[in-house]
Amino acid sequence: MEESGRIPERELRCDNHELYEIVIGMVADMLFDYDIANRRIMFVKSNGGRFDEREWLPDYSTKLSEKVHGEDRSVYEHMMNDVKNGKASFSGECRLLLREEYKWARIQGRTFLNSSGKAYRAVGRIYGIDEQKKETLKLYDEAKKDPLTKLFNKKHAEEMIQNYLMQGRYKRGAMFVVDVDNFKRVNDTMGHLFGDETLAQFSRILQFNFRASDIVGRIGGDEFIAFMKDVRDMEAIRNKADAVCDAISHIHRGRIPSFRVSSSIGIAVYPDHGVEYEELFQKADKALYFTKERGKNGYTIFGE
């Protein structure tokens, strides 16, 4: 055997059992042998170190890509490029369509090069990680969310907005800083459980009124942030602020007629009022202060 990842064809017998020796020590749901030179592939089910023979299939790389979840296709294509470029090893995690349901799988393998340095074969394993992956993603998702409102927490909301701003597309956007008016009095007079319920309803209204592509988060006890992407014009921003204020005014109205919830909103427009997060936040926060000075229950766009 020559250097790692380079095995002359004459030294690699055609006996499949010998080819799979490099992966037999690894617990796998499925082994594969991709014959690049002849554009064919074989899948072999691993069963306690024994192998069930499978027939060679015609070039399956394109067909297999159709079984990969659309959001993970770039991962698969990256692995295929590693193979074709002769990278010694390759790996990746993606969702594969199995029995009409997408399941997470990890693919790991090794590429073999002929004496001229060209990749001609790849062998490896595919094994299921669906339960572990979903649990990991769940924990990761929970780490990004505020436990009470289920909105993005302060850290993740800021990161998402900063990432959007760093793209530098300069399509108009709007940062909303939203505050629950007189929330301390709500807690003091109605109790903390009622206060938590109010915040939960408040957050649901924000989620409903902003698009799924927008960014909505809780950045403090009774303070929220929303970033509205790709805004058509200033009128769209004003309409959104009016809709949010009106919806929030209906919280608890049917349940406790004498109780009123309202909000104050400060808005800064991107890129008109700034192109960086801190600058936009400071101006939106200043606009929020003006709203409160004017009697609360409304909104102010910075500079107006």
Question: Would you please indicate which residues are annotated as catalytic (active-site) residues?
Answer: 222
Kind and range of the H or E element at 154? helix 154-166
Contact 209, 229 (CB under 8 A): no
In the numeric block, which tokens belong to residue 173?
């956007």
Of residues 262, 263, 280, the one with CA closest to residue 271: 280
Q: What is the 3-state secondary structure (H, E, C) of 17-39?
A: HHHHHHCCCCCCCEEEEEECCCC
Residue closest to 263 by CA, chosen among 214, 211, 219, 205: 205
Question: Using CA atoms, how far apart are residues 291 and 287, in angstroms rounded to an integer?
Answer: 6
Among the listed residues 152, 206, 221, the one whose alpha carbon sits nearest the alpha carbon of residue 176: 206
How many CB atoms sit inside 10 A of residue 176's CB?
26
**Are residues 40 and 58 in contact, defined by beta-carbon separation less than 8 angstroms?**
yes
Query: Tokens in use for 11?
Result: 């030294």
